[in-house]
Amino acid sequence: MTIQQKTERLAPLSEAQVKQYHEQGYFVMKNGCSHDLIDTYNAHIHSIRSAEVLEEWAKPRKGKEAVNDKDRFSVRLFNPHLHDGFSLQMMKLPVVRGVLAQVLGDEACGVQSMYFYKEPGSPGQAAHQDYYYIRNEPNTLTAAWVAMEFTNEENGCLWVIPGTHRLGLLPHGAVKNLKEHEAWTNEVEGIDLSQEIPAVLEKGDILFFDSLLIHSSTRNRSERWRRSYVCHYIRHDSTIEREDLKRKISLV
pTM across the whole model: 0.95
Among 106, 99, 138, residue whose Cα is nearest residue 17: 99
Residue 206 sits in a domain whose CATH number is: 2.60.120.620
**6 assigned to some structural domain:** no
Contact yes or no for 160/212 (Cβ under 8 A) = no
**169 assigned to some structural domain:** yes
**137 assigned to some structural domain:** yes
Question: What whole-number distance in Å separates Cα of residue 232 and Cα of residue 110?
Answer: 6
- How many CB atoms are closer than 10 A to CB 2? 4
Question: What whole-number distance in Å separates Cα of residue 201 and Cα of residue 159?
Answer: 11
Per-residue pLDDT of the chain (252 residues; tens, 9 = 90+): 565 666 789 999 999 999 999 999 999 999 999 999 999 999 999 999 999 999 999 999 877 777 888 999 999 999 999 999 999 999 999 999 999 999 999 999 999 999 999 999 999 999 999 999 999 999 999 999 999 999 999 999 999 999 999 999 999 999 999 999 999 999 999 999 999 999 999 999 999 999 999 999 999 999 999 999 999 999 999 999 999 999 999 999
**8 assigned to some structural domain:** no
How many domains are there within the chain? Answer: 1
Question: What whole-number distance in Å separates Cα of residue 22 and Cα of residue 26?
Answer: 7
Three-state secondary structure call for residue 207: strand
